[in-house]
Amino acid sequence: QVQVLESGGGSVQTGGSLRLSCRVSGGYIYGTYCMAWFRQAPEKEREGVAGIYPGGSGTVFAASAKDRFTISLDSGDHTLYLQMDSMKPEDTGMYYCAVGGPLMPYYAPSCPGESIDYSYWGHGTEVTVGA
| Model confidence at 55: pLDDT above 90 | no
pLDDT at 91: 97
Strands 125-130 and 10-13: parallel
Q: How confident is the model at residue 45 (pLDDT cuts 50, 70, 90)?
A: very high
pLDDT digits (tens, 9 = 90+) for 81-130: 999 999 999 999 999 999 999 988 888 788 988 989 999 999 999 999 99
Percent of the chain with pLDDT over 90: 76
Find out whether 59 and 52 touch, Cβ atoms under 8 Å: yes
Query: DSSP class of residue 27?
Result: S
pLDDT at 126: 98
Rounded mean pLDDT, 16-37: 91
pLDDT at 67: 95
| Distance (Å, whole) CA 130 – CA 120 | 30
| Distance (Å, whole) CA 19 – CA 34 | 20
| Model confidence at 28: pLDDT above 80 | no
Q: How confident is the model at residue 75 (pLDDT cuts 50, 70, 90)?
A: confident
| Torsion sign (Cα): 61, 24, 46, 84 | negative
Query: DSSP class of residue 14?
Result: T
pLDDT, the chain, mean = 93
Nearest to 130 by CA among 9, 16, 40, 4: 16
Rounded mean pLDDT, 58-69: 95
Find out whether 107 and 42 touch, Cβ atoms under 8 Å: no
